[in-house]
Amino acid sequence: MRLERGTFGGRFAMVMAMAGSAVGLGNIWRFPYMVGENGGAAFILVYVVCCLLVSLPIFFCEAIIGKSQRANTCYLSIVSSFIILSFYSVVGGWSVDYLLRSLSGGFQGQSMEQAREMFAGISASMVENISCMLVFLGLTALIVVAGVEKGIGLFSKVSIPVLFIMMLLLAFNSSSLEGAKKGIEYLIKPDFSSLSGKAVAAALGQSFFSLSLGVGSILTYASYMKEEESVTFAGGWTVFFDTVFAIVSGFAIMPAVFAAGIEPGAGPSLVFETLPVIFSGMGWIVPIVFFLVILIAALSSSISLLEVVVSFLVDEKHLSRGRAVMDVFLLAAILGGACAVFPRLFGICDFVTSNVLMMLGALAFCLAVGWKMPREEVLSYIRSPFLYKIIRYAIPVMIIIIALIPFFDC
């Protein structure tokens, strides 16, 4: 059913909101250490190709459904968005915790071992974990309850440009360090001999997850687009901003890692165990800027996840926006709290959403556009018969391949 819906109020707000949905912790936390684990610049080149050839067409599918139907996403994506919001809020809570610690100078003079012990203590503290998770979830709720234009649109118009500027400053600062040259070369000189099948698979998966595909956030945001706005314009700029931000994140982190003499493939612990110590050595302001960047990026993604569920409750269950936000907040707080207390549950939620629900959602969107919608209607949005064939035949196969990657040793 086609619904009357609000809009972002302008093209810039629309693009920034979609970019914000894509730009998240995956760019700052996951992308740099994956670059470090998979060969540096060669991995980045493969990642960019994957974004353009695979992830962008999937983005178009979600956006076409959202704009054409002006309706909510499928139940599968609503469940997926809710689960991701819940456990993602635990990580968002860590960003709140670390920002507060950096404001009080908590990382000054710390050793790597002390930083690891601090993170282990935070992760094990039920009270601290849940308290910070609730703060993060509350900030997300405050933005969403204000509505599409005055909440999400306004936040995106202000925060995303600021986010880019702060990350560029961090990149400049890191690149100017003594010993950073090796880190810069690592990011700009591709060594294809180090590029394994596993690295190609990782780049393909990262391009998919980085754009938040398959959870319905792009579909929901596209349903708020004005009639005159172009799906291809929105998709192109979203992929551009997301990719540039991921690369800039690499330049903000890897030169500093090399300057500190740390292995580039340090893994997921890089952000919360290693970087606080490295950045605290650059002055008191650098850790504050870095964890403010982490928090804004996390919020930009979490508000899109919350909006997916809230939009459904408002349109289909006829709840007020305030009531819908409160209901989802309470339920997400319960599941998020459980994930904070039980790390195994956190891992299960992460695996199930990333490797099953998101994939099934993306596959459903592509099949709907490629096989259910009239060809002429699809072409009115993308204006490319060749791209239509890619969506119809190639992309479903690629989604299945991405879904099977975690179950095989590439």
pLDDT in tens, 37-71: 788 899 999 999 999 999 999 999 999 999 998 87
Report yes or no on 256 lying in a domain: yes
Structure confidence at residue 1 (pLDDT): 46
355 vs 289, more confident: 289
Report yes or no on 48 lying in a domain: yes
Report yes or no on 1 lying in a domain: no
Residue 139, C-beta contacts closer than 8 angstroms, at least 6 positions apart = 299
pLDDT in tens, 78-103: 999 999 999 999 999 999 999 999 99
Report the predicted TM-score, pTM, of the whole model to 2 decimal places.
0.92
Structure confidence at residue 28 (pLDDT): 82
Report yes or no on 6 lying in a domain: no
- CA–CA dist 199, 205 (Å, integer): 10
Q: Express as a percent the part of the chain with pLDDT over 90.
A: 57
Structural domain range at position 25: 11-407
Structure confidence at residue 123 (pLDDT): 85
- CATH number, domain at 169? 1.10.4160.10
Given a cut of 90, whether residue 328 has pLDDT beyond it is yes
Q: Which of 223, 216, 257 minimizes the C-alpha distance to 364?
A: 216
pLDDT (mean) for 133-155: 95
DSSP string, 293-317: HHHHHHHHHHHHHHHHHHHHHHHHS
Report yes or no on 4 lying in a domain: no
Structure confidence at residue 297 (pLDDT): 92
Confidence of residue 266 (pLDDT cuts 50, 70, 90): low
Q: 129-133, 276-280, 318-322, 356-360: which range is least confident on average?
A: 276-280
- How many Cα atoms are found within 13 Å in the side-chain-facing hemisphere of 135? 17
Structure confidence at residue 269 (pLDDT): 67
> Residue type at 44?
I
pLDDT (mean) for 366-390: 96
Given a cut of 70, whether residue 290 has pLDDT beyond it is yes
CB atoms within 10 A of CB 234: 24
Report yes or no on 3 lying in a domain: no
Provide the number of structural domains found in the chain.
1
Confidence of residue 338 (pLDDT cuts 50, 70, 90): very high
- Residue 256 contacts residue 275 (beta carbons within 8 Å): yes
Q: Express as a percent the part of the chain with pLDDT over 70.
A: 96
Report yes or no on 108 lying in a domain: yes
- CA–CA dist 102, 113 (Å, integer): 17
Given a cut of 90, whether residue 386 has pLDDT beyond it is yes
- CA–CA dist 133, 137 (Å, integer): 6
Report yes or no on 157 lying in a domain: yes
- CA dihedral (47, 53, 54, 58) positive or negative: positive
Q: 11-20, 258-267, 313-322: which range is least confident on average?
A: 258-267
